Amino acid sequence: MPHLTILRGALLPLALFLFVLTPAPVESQLFQSGIDPRIEALLEEVDEERLLHNIEMMASFGTRNTMSDTEHPDWGIGAAREWIRQEMESYSPRLQVSFDAYDVEPAGRIRYETDLRNVKAVLPGRSERRIYVSGHYDSVVLRGWTDDNPQPPADSDDRAENRFAPGANDDASGVSLAMELARVLSQSGIEFDATLVFIGFAGEEQGLVGARLHAQRMAAEGVPITAVFNNDIIGNSMGGNGIVDGRTTRIFSEGPEDSLSRQLARYIRRTAAWYVPGHKVRLIAREDRFGRGGDHTPFNREGFAAVRMTESREYYDRQHTVRDTPDGIDPGYLARNARVNLAGMASLALAPAAPGVAFNMLRRGGGYDAQLQWRPSEGAVGYRIFWREAWGMDWEHELYVGDVTEYILRDISIDDYHFGVAAVGPDGHESLVSVYVRPPR
């Protein structure tokens, strides 16, 4: 989704634009409510028991350390990734499931030559643009081992990385969520405009290695990625301080204020308010938790819109320790987070692509009116304009203007507000917002 360009100057040739400067009538209830009954039905399919079962299965392999055993049938990352692959393959013949594999040389926290494999399931859509939901399936323990912990089998690799590291919440929870969305959406029978990708990354605990290699590969191949919903530490509702919060979730997104990442975060909160109104999405204006990182960041670095979704109350004493076991998961809370992801992902996948590069934004009416212009988006039947005061962080006003490529907002100064426009499809689903930004001097 490219940013739109602000210019101040003479009007471009009239022939380039369709001039309709009054609002088109709202044509369906969907434009007003944002609700699609198909998505509502999909939300009911999210299964708490399946979510917990997936986590229990991943924890049952003892460890999923990126450098743990790849050959043992019951212990280590090799057995875990094969189970994830087979499980997603069982959901639907529509899913294209495979390993996204890399030979990684020793460097940084990768101590050995490593066969690193992300596990990927692709649900083809009508277009090539992709929407991802992700988590990382590797685990790590940095302290707390005792003789009471499950021990590696005698016939497994004797590396230290083979020691017990259950990683239930960090991040079997995120991978379980991605797997459950793969099941529900692939079995839905809905043909989405966007291609959906459900992926479990490896190497996150060694410096976001699997996500970085994949994002770089996608960028090099020119694959259009519209959005990445990254879920990491998403299944626990009680913090280590005893505070319980099972009704809010945080979304971290990198700046500046109108970055692609911020537009995605705003979109997720908007769709969650429609479909999961009892679950509040908290927008956090940071790339990630203070001093920490996640698998969304490599996608941001390659110019893709990506965010991190994380529980509101982290239990720090369980993270990277042997205490990160399935009994710390709140399945109901994880299911609500899965529904927030599903609502945003499905809505965005059913929508047209965001409007292309805008021609400009101008002063009209002697400088007192804002004139917005944009390129049409294939498949759009109309457009919605958004604006907010220039000090604000989230959109405050919106107006559906119909099938036009230009609109004048009377008595609205382009100096005092930020503006954006989204494409609306025939079912009322909206794209991400393309934002007017000032060109560099």
The CATH number of the domain holding residue 17 is 2.60.40.10
For residues 42 and 54, state if they share a domain. yes
Q: What is the pLDDT of residue 342?
A: 98
Q: What is the pLDDT of residue 28?
A: 37
For residues 29 and 80, state if they share a domain. no
For residues 289 and 230, state if they share a domain. yes
367-381 tens-digit pLDDT = 789 989 999 999 999
| Domains held by the chain: number | 2
Q: Is the pLDDT of residue 192 over 90?
A: yes
Domain limit, last residue, from 335, 350, 365: 350
Per-residue CA distances from 240 to 203, 237, 318, 324, 367 (Å): 26, 10, 8, 12, 55
For residues 169 and 308, state if they share a domain. yes
Q: Which residue has the higher pLDDT, 26 or 86?
A: 86
**Cβ-contact 224, 380 below 8 angstroms:** no
Q: Is the pLDDT of residue 410 over 80?
A: yes
For residues 253 and 104, state if they share a domain. yes
Rounded average pLDDT over 103-127: 96
Q: What is the pLDDT of residue 158?
A: 82
State whether the Cα torsion 408-411-414-420 is positive or negative. Answer: negative
For residues 190 and 95, state if they share a domain. yes
Give the pLDDT band of residue 303 (cuts 50, 70, 90).
very high
342-393 tens-digit pLDDT = 999 999 999 999 997 454 556 666 678 998 999 999 999 999 999 999 998 8
Residue 314's Cα: distance from chain center in Å?
20
Q: What is the pLDDT of residue 409?
A: 93
For residues 266 and 174, state if they share a domain. yes
144-175 tens-digit pLDDT = 888 889 999 998 888 899 999 999 999 999 99
For residues 133 and 182, state if they share a domain. yes
For residues 372 and 307, state if they share a domain. no
Q: Is the pLDDT of residue 247 over 70?
A: yes
Q: Which residue has the higher pLDDT, 29 or 102?
A: 102
How many other C-beta atoms are found inside a 10 Å radius of the C-beta of residue 357? 11
Q: What is the pLDDT of residue 145?
A: 86
Q: What is the pLDDT of residue 8?
A: 34
Q: What is the pLDDT of residue 10?
A: 33
Q: What is the pLDDT of residue 19?
A: 33
Secondary structure percentages of the chain, helix, strand, coil, to 5: 30, 25, 45
Q: Which domain holds residue 192?
A: 37-350
The CATH number of the domain holding residue 312 is 3.40.630.10
Q: What is the pLDDT of residue 360?
A: 56
pTM for this model (two decimals): 0.91
Q: Is the pLDDT of residue 24 over 50?
A: no
> Mean pLDDT for the chain?
90
Query: For residue 402, what are its two tokens?
Result: 């119909």
In the chain, the percentage of residues whose pLDDT exceeds 90 is 81
For residues 141 and 228, state if they share a domain. yes
C-alpha span between 66 and 141 (Å, rounded)? 12
Q: Is the pLDDT of residue 266 over 90?
A: yes
Cis ω on the peptide bond leading into residue 376 (within 30° of 0)? no
Secondary structure of residue 389 in the 3-state scheme: strand
For residues 111 and 217, state if they share a domain. yes
Domain limit, last residue, from 307, 327, 350: 350
Domain limit, last residue, from 322, 350, 378: 350
For residues 267 and 236, state if they share a domain. yes
Rounded average pLDDT over 232-241: 96
